[in-house]
Amino acid sequence: MNIYLFPTELEAKAFRALCPNAEVVISGVGMAATAATIASLGCRGGDVVVLAGIAGAYDDSVAVGSVVEVMSEECVELPERFRRRYLQPQPYTTLRGVASNTVHTMQSLSHGAEIENMEGAVLMAMAETMGYRAVEVRAISNRVGDSFEKWAVDEAVMALAKELKKLEDEK
pLDDT in tens, 23-46: 999 999 988 999 999 988 887 767
Confidence at residue 107, expressed as pLDDT on a 0 to 100 scale: 63
Number of domains in the chain: 1
Query: Per-residue pLDDT for 166 more than 80?
Result: yes
Mean pLDDT of the chain: 90
- Domain extent for 86: 2-170
Distance in angstroms between the alpha carbons of the first and the last residue of the chain: 8
> What's the CATH code of the domain at 159?
3.40.50.1580
Task: Tell me the sheet residues that pair with 100.
Answer: 73, 115
The angle at the Cα of 39, spanning 105 to 21, to the nearest 5 degrees, equals 95
- Rg of the chain's alpha carbons, rounded to an integer? 15
Least confident range from 39-48, 131-140, 147-156: namely 39-48
Query: Per-residue pLDDT for 171 more than 80?
Result: no
pTM for this model (two decimals): 0.92
